[in-house]
């Protein structure tokens, strides 16, 4: 039986009973996992309260962990094409979330073949050693998916810093230009005022020469 077109969404409190059933079928610690309900993405099935699959996404900085995959058993779930269809719906959702949250690298220890062919590869030893996320056990074997190449990310940061520095320099130059223009305008206004005052004094003295005489003779 073919499944209809599948889509995934974030788990809600209403999904908890169906999630607990999936976790129990998969042999996962349901009581522990329900504390992290909001980490889970789920694929609803037909009918109210039916879930076909779920997986957790733990985010830490620029890294995230895919964990605790659980699918319905049998032909409609964890086996063959149907299981991979559920995983594909989850994977589409996970990639959107990861990119929206600025995640650079996804880690998992899920062993389904789908993850090895769907973008994950064996994590190089140096990548595991350099990992800073607390969930990365450096003695374990990991699959990793690089959403952003570290070298390109570093180059992007360098380019953004260069653009920021150039913008700040340009803004500083423009500010200095405005300050100089304001200062020059202020000096020009002062000079005009001084010239006008001198002109007024000369005009008054020409019209009233006796004032100058009084000034020269100490006001007598």
Give per-residue pLDDT as tens, 36-83. Answer: 999 999 999 988 889 999 999 999 999 999 999 999 986 445 556 789
- CATH number of the domain located at residue range(s) 9-148 in this protein: 3.40.630.30
| In the chain, where the domains are located | 9-148, 154-216
* Residue 155 CB contacts under 8 Å (≥ 6 apart), including other chains: none
For the entire predicted model, the pTM comes to 0.65
Dihedral sign (CA 165, 167, 170, 174): negative
Percent of the chain with pLDDT over 70: 84
Give the pLDDT mean for 181-197: 87
Pick 168 or 56 by higher pLDDT: 56
Q: What does the pLDDT read at residue 136?
A: 96
- What value, to the nearest 5°, has the Cα angle with vertex 87 and ends 85 and 88? 65
Classify 129 as helix, strand or coil.
Answer: helix
Tens-digit pLDDT profile for residues 111-147: 999 999 878 999 999 999 999 999 999 999 999 999 8
Instruction: Show the tokens assigned to 209.
Output: 């020469």
160 pLDDT tier (thresholds 50, 70, 90): low
- Return the number of other C-beta atoms located less than 10 Å from residue 30's C-beta: 18
- What value, to the nearest 5°, has the Cα angle with vertex 55 and ends 135 and 52? 165
Instruction: Show the tokens assigned to 48.
Output: 């109210």
H/E stretch holding 10 reads strand 9-10
C-alpha 68/C-alpha 116 separation (Å) is: 16
Pick 101 or 153 by higher pLDDT: 101
Query: For the chain, how many residues are written?
Result: 220
């Amino acid at each position: 039986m073919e499944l209809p077109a599948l889509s995934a969404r974030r788990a809600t409190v209403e999904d908890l009973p169906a999630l607990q059933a999936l976790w129990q079928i998969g042999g996962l610690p349901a009581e522990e996992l329900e504390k992290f309900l909001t980490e889970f993405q789920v694929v609803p099935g037909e009918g109210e309260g039916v879930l076909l699959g779920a997986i957790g996404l733990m985010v830490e900085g620029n890294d995230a962990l895919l964990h605790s995959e659980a699918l319905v058993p049998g032909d409609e779930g964890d086996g063959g094409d149907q299981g991979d269809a559920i995983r594909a719906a989850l994977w589409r959702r996970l990639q959107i979330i990861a990119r929206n949250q600025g995640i650079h690298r996804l880690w998992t220890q899920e062993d389904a073949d789908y993850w090895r062919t769907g973008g994950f590869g064996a994590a190089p030893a140096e990548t595991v050693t350099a990992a800073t996320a607390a969930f990365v056990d450096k003695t374990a074997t990991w699959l990793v998916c690089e959403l952003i190449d570290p070298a390109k990310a570093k180059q992007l940061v360098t380019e953004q810093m260069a653009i920021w520095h150039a913008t700040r320099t340009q803004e500083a130059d423009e500010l200095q230009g405005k300050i100089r223009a304001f200062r020059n305008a202020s000096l020009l206004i002062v000079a005009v005022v001084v010239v006008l005052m001198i002109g007024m004094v000369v005009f008054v003295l020409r019209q009233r020469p006796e004032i100058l005489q009084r000034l020269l003779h100490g006001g007598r």
